[in-house]
Amino acid sequence: MTAPEAPVLEVREVSKIYGTGDARVHALRGVSLTVERGDYVAIMGASGSGKSTLMNILGCLDVPTTGTYLVDGTDVGALGDRQLAVLRNRKIGFVFQSFNLIPRMSALANVELPLAYGGVGVGARRRRALAALDQVGLGDRLHHDPNELSGGQQQRVAVARALVTAPSLLLADEPTGNLDTTSTGDVLRILDRLSSAGRTIVLITHENDVAAHAKRVIRLVDGRITEDHRQAPVDGPPPRLAAVAP
């Protein structure tokens, strides 16, 4: 009999404390959650709720003070720095509010970058980067630098870069926070279609309209999960971009 597949994410009683003595801040207080393959989760909370701290731990950019965090069944706390770097490169695709593109590199070169770090050969990474940019509807902007692209187009490049390694998890931190209404719609359509194609997505947002696209909403208050419910995602407008392969 085949063993059951491990959840993409498993957080067990995670706490995070900053500072010491009277300056101690409890950013997370015993948070536990599981994200199965193919789920689309929105994590919400006001400033100071702990959602950014949780995001950093999920992205292996910070470590919990207590508790356990597993990615694809691997205990992150048992990994060394090099192993962590490999896990981040291969298992997690990041999309940030500020895009984080390299200014003097073309869209294509930006998307190839994670594959270059991962040791993928020139030909293979070029093919995969071209396919990822086509998936987000930017096949005609390959050689444009970020300053030649709109904010929405830059974020779509960032999504392509996050997808190019075929990660287990797409982790998006306020991905529409710097975008206008039209560009926000473009990015949300891409995330919706990625979810429909079976991608696992965890989205940090403070906007109810953005969270409405997720299948599941988790709310944090003072470092604790106060709400975790499933919902029927909103139906967006008909997709206008190239089809996304699972």
Q: Residue 4's pLDDT band (boundaries 50, 70, 90)?
A: confident
Report d(CA 48, CA 179) in Å as an integer: 23
122 CA to centre of own chain: 25
Q: Which helix (H) or strand (E) holds 1?
A: none
Q: Which helix (H) or strand (E) holds 73?
A: none
pLDDT (0 to 100) of residue 234: 84
Largest CA distance in the chain: 56
Structure-token match 């300053």, residue found? 147
Secondary structure of 185-237 in the HEC alphabet?
A: HHHHHHHHHHHHCCCCEEEECCCHHHHCCCCEEEEEECCEEEEEEECCCCCCC
pTM: 0.89
Architecture of domain 37-63+80-244: 3-Layer(aba) Sandwich (3.40)
Q: Are 189 and 136 in contact (CB under 8 A)?
A: no
pLDDT tens, residue by residue, 129-150: 999 999 999 999 999 999 999 9
| Listed residue (127, 133, 134, 88) closest to 111, CA to CA | 133
pLDDT (0 to 100) of residue 116: 93
pLDDT (0 to 100) of residue 242: 42
Report d(CA 149, CA 214) in Å as an integer: 27
Name the residue ranges covered by the structural domains of the chain: 37-63+80-244
SS3 245: coil
Q: Residue 49's pLDDT band (boundaries 50, 70, 90)?
A: very high
Q: Which helix (H) or strand (E) holds 162?
A: helix 151-163
Q: Are 170 and 194 in contact (CB under 8 A)?
A: yes
pLDDT tens, residue by residue, 9-47: 999 999 999 998 888 999 999 999 999 999 999 999 998
Q: Parallel, antiparallel, or unpaired: how do β-strands 224-230 and 201-204 relate? A: unpaired
Q: Residue 1's pLDDT band (boundaries 50, 70, 90)?
A: low
